[in-house]
Structure 1
Amino acid sequence: MAHDSRTPSVPPVRTQKLRAAVSSRLWPIPVFAVAAAVALGVVLPALDQAYDERFPEVLQVYLFSGGASAARSVLEAISGSLITVTSLTFSLTVVTLQLASSQFSPRLLRTFTSDRFVHWTLALFLGTFSYSLTVLRSVRSGTDGGTEFVPDIAVTVAFLLAIASVIGLVLFLAHLTREIRVETMMRNVHTETAATIERVLARKPSPDTDAAAAAGSLSGPEALAAPDGQPVEAATSGFLTLIDEPGLAAVARDAGAVVRINACMGDSVIAGVPFATVWAGAGRFTAAELEDLSRRIGGTVTVGFERTNDQDPAFGFRQLADVGARALSPGTNDPTTAVHVIGHLSSLLCDLVERDLGDRTVQDSDGSVRAVLAGPGFGHFLSTAVSQIRHYGMQDVQVALRLLALFEEVSWCDRSGAQRHVLQAGLAELREGIGQHHYTSAEKQTLMERYQRAQAAVTAQRGRPIY
């Protein structure tokens, strides 16, 4: 199975699903830690009992040396305090999620629930609690006529885990105060989006490579030019989050068909509404054949209840734009945050102009096109980044100036001028917005000077601004 040469290598869909399931939920790592702690709490006392008298004196100095009652007191104190600290940590995490949802954007919650530092902090606390309880049951006082047994190694490990938990609590509080800052949120979204762009979108090929790829794609079925494509209905409703490209191409090959996924990644699909089109190699599929093929195609796509950044670079633009729009709402009135958001969006757009956007193909090993995946063009990303902020923020001069600077910066990075027409259309809308708002004469002059500078940048050769 060969993919389009313009397609970067991406992990298998099963790997992506597993990674998303682990990274976006709070419970998997803590549950694993609890299981490991219980196992350790069973193994270490057994090791204590087997090697109690064989440890060198140098090591025994550092081990717990109290009796059974002292060991019970230590373990009870650790387990009791750790469950309280864990409750506090959960409470602080929930408060942070509420703050992010109400003040910035509900679409930022996934970023917080994917925070590995929070995962491992909860794992440390719950693991220490579970380990202490497990070890506590192995301590025997000897009052019932049996032999007293104190697992010195196990109690010492519990003490070390308690110290580590105290340090973890301090680090967690420091981490939390940093994470709730809007600058940190924007940086995290920017980093995730840049990684998705690098993983999903290939850089523009050289002219020779592009010609070779185009020649290879023509060797496949020519059914895409036929007008008799048959629609494929979605089986469930939600957002298109993942596509198993090799699996989709295999389904099309077995059916002797070409498949086009018309919905872009992150688009909303509705059950019973067509989201793809198939072309038969010869003739048309019967109703039964089309139903079976639709079911198999549906098995290669993942539809979720929320967008993710696994294969959807536009989701990061939506998250940042939401933060900017929320900052410009009358209840918040924070244009400085909006200006910072535009800076992040400009940087991401500058990266996109060097990427191969739009539709791409998935080919067989013999070069035959088996699937075509619809992709958003640069105009979609630009509109997502600019439209809402322009609508809500043009009355603020600093926001308007930063939007004009965005067009200048992106045009500078558009060396080939491929996005010139898109940038010109967006700049014209921005100019119209300037004309619809009231500014002082000095503000109007500043805006027009910056607009002319941006216009010169957009129309200049190779996207280089003219000063």
Structure 2
Amino acid sequence: MGWNRLFSLRSYIKSSLWLVPFVALLLYVAAIRLVYFFEQWLIWLEPWPWGVAGSQRLLETIITMTLTFVVFTFGSLLVAIQVAGGQLTPRIIATTLLRDNAIRFTVGLFIFTLLFATGALARLETDVHHKVVAIAGLLGFLSIAGFLYLIDYAARLLRPVSIVARVSDEGRKVIERLYPILATEESGSGADSVGPKDSPDKIVLYKGRPAIIVAVNRNALLAEAERSHCVIELVPRIGDFIASDEPLFLLYGDRFPKEATLKTMIAFGQERSLEQDVTFAFRIIVDIAIKALSKAINDPTTAVLAIDQLQRLLCLVGKRSLRGERIRNRSGELKVVCRMPSWDDFVKLTFSEIRLYGAENFQIARRLHAVLEYCLQVLPAARRPALEQELELLDRQLQELFRFPEDLELAKTADTQGLGSAKFPARRALAPVDPPIETSLSHRVP
């Protein structure tokens, strides 16, 4: 099995809700036999005081209860996911909600309890296995606690602030993994220039169904380029759509690796994922923001929450070196070229659409001003031209939108809360604060 298939399999396992309940079914098959086999050694369980009739009613209650939990959980979860996807963005379903382990393992507990109680009831005859019934009762108690926890957890999970924070956390991990080196004033301007300047000696075309480039095995590409003594350039960027007969690789040199081998180093999928797509986290959060800014929803506060996380990610990217396109061997020879987003790409993705759809709102205009002024203050000087251009574009758009000088001044005021906090003092020196005047107790009014 090639690397691309293993990557796709791992991604499917991480985003599949049914796998943990299926594993619980397999665990039940082994657990029910082990419990009956080692029942006499379970001395830590007190003898169950009820007889056959009472044990039967208890097990039947547990079965009915856990079955209800499973049906209610899956039914309400599907509805909640669709509602959240419609109000926020459909991209959160596979990237966030279906990957949540708390939901998956809670449903797995329900399935295991249901099967264990069913197996214990099927083996219940004239003689009661008290310790087995006690274990079933304990599992039933844990299922009740798990169900109550799941309701509270799901209610908190589906809030916009929780979703954007989760996506931001995943984006931070990808940024730190793909850009491990901090930027300097000399190297912080952006990405490297792409590829060798000569025309390629061979073009490898993509053959297959239209798909998205999800991930790339860069280490394997480097090893293959070393082995073949050539330079390999990947034409599409991670997250790009590619159709059949479009260029996939450009090869430079005299000897070339097999096309089938090269294609196993690229993972394809139906939609973008967060594993290696560094701009996809930005894309999801921006989608949530502009969905909230639509006239049908009109929820600028949610958009402000999204901008908060965009500021976090943009500052993280801005403080790191984006020179990762040209991969060299230990001798310093260029071997692999993988296209990466530049600093201008990150800035435009963060601000352009939100400015277009939300500049007429005071909250959005003021929050964008605060982000830009904060980034101009904390990021290296090489990052400032793109930010200053966005700030100029924002001011020019506000000039056209607001006819009254008072509204224009209000919209241009940087505000970290959107509307409601003091002016953001990012680009001006803070005035010195006089020390407080101590008041003697004898001068106080009684």
- Determine whether 1:227 maps to 2:199: yes
- Determine whether 1:100 maps to 2:91: no
- The question of whether the paired residues in 2 share the 8 Å contact of 1:350 and 1:414 is answered with yes
Q: Deviations over 1:57-100 (max 9, x none)?
A: xx46x232333333332222211221111000001211111111
Q: In 2 relative to 1, CA 67–365 (structure 1 residues): closer, same or farther, beyond 3 Å?
A: farther
- Determine whether 1:175 maps to 2:166: no
Q: 2:377 maps to what in 1?
A: 412
* Count of residue pairs brought into register by the alignment: 409
Work out the CA distance in 1 between the residues paired with 2:47 and 2:31: 17
Shift of 1:234: 2.3
Q: In 2 relative to 1, CA 177–205 (structure 1 residues): closer, same or farther, beyond 3 Å?
A: closer
Shift of 1:409: 1.2
Work out the CA distance in 2 between the residues paired with 1:409 and 1:264: 30
Output aligned runs, 1:266-345, within 5 Å: 266-280=239-253, 282=254, 293-345=258-310
Unpaired runs of 5+ residues, structure 2, are: 416-425, 430-446
Task: Describe the SS at the equivalent of 1:276.
Answer: strand
Q: In 2 relative to 1, CA 426–231 (structure 1 residues): closer, same or farther, beyond 3 Å?
A: farther
Q: 2:113 maps to what in 1?
A: 128
Q: Deviations over 1:104-146 (max 9, x none)?
A: 10011121111111011101101111111222222222xxxxx
Q: 2:144 maps to what in 1?
A: 166
Q: TM-score, normalised by structure 2?
A: 0.85
Select which of 14, 30, 33 maps to 2:21.
30
Q: Deviations over 1:325-368 (max 9, x none)?
A: 00010110111111221121111101111112154333445544
Select which of 97, 103, 116 maps to 1:118.
103
- Determine whether 1:249 maps to 2:213: no
| Aligned-partner residue type, residue 202 of structure 2 | Q
- The question of whether the paired residues in 2 share the 8 Å contact of 1:189 and 1:316 is answered with yes
- The question of whether the paired residues in 1 share the 8 Å contact of 2:42 and 2:131 is answered with no
- Determine whether 1:72 maps to 2:72: no
| Aligned-partner residue type, residue 288 of structure 2 | V
- Determine whether 1:433 maps to 2:404: no
Q: 2:176 maps to what in 1?
A: 198
Work out the CA distance in 2 between the residues paired with 1:342 and 1:310: 22
Work out the CA distance in 1 between the residues paired with 2:290 and 2:59: 51
- The question of whether the paired residues in 2 share the 8 Å contact of 1:325 and 1:388 is answered with yes
- Determine whether 1:186 maps to 2:177: no
Q: Deviations over 1:220-263 (max 9, x none)?
A: xxx92433343322234222111112221232233321111132
Q: 1:213 maps to what in 2?
A: none
- The question of whether the paired residues in 1 share the 8 Å contact of 2:185 and 2:382 is answered with no
| Aligned-partner residue type, residue 184 of structure 1 | S
Q: 1:144 maps to what in 2?
A: none
- The question of whether the paired residues in 2 share the 8 Å contact of 1:231 and 1:274 is answered with yes
Which of the pair is proportionally richer in helix?
1
Q: 1:466 maps to what in 2?
A: 428
Shift of 1:17: 4.8
Q: 1:458 maps to what in 2?
A: none
Q: Deviations over 1:168-195 (max 9, x none)?
A: 0110011011112111111111111112
| Aligned-partner residue type, residue 173 of structure 1 | I
| Aligned-partner residue type, residue 137 of structure 2 | F
Q: TM-score, normalised by structure 1?
A: 0.81
Work out the CA distance in 2 between the residues paired with 1:349 and 1:190: 11
Shift of 1:206: 6.1
Task: Describe the SS at the equivalent of 1:418.
Answer: helix
- The question of whether the paired residues in 2 share the 8 Å contact of 1:38 and 1:134 is answered with no
Q: 1:361 maps to what in 2?
A: 326
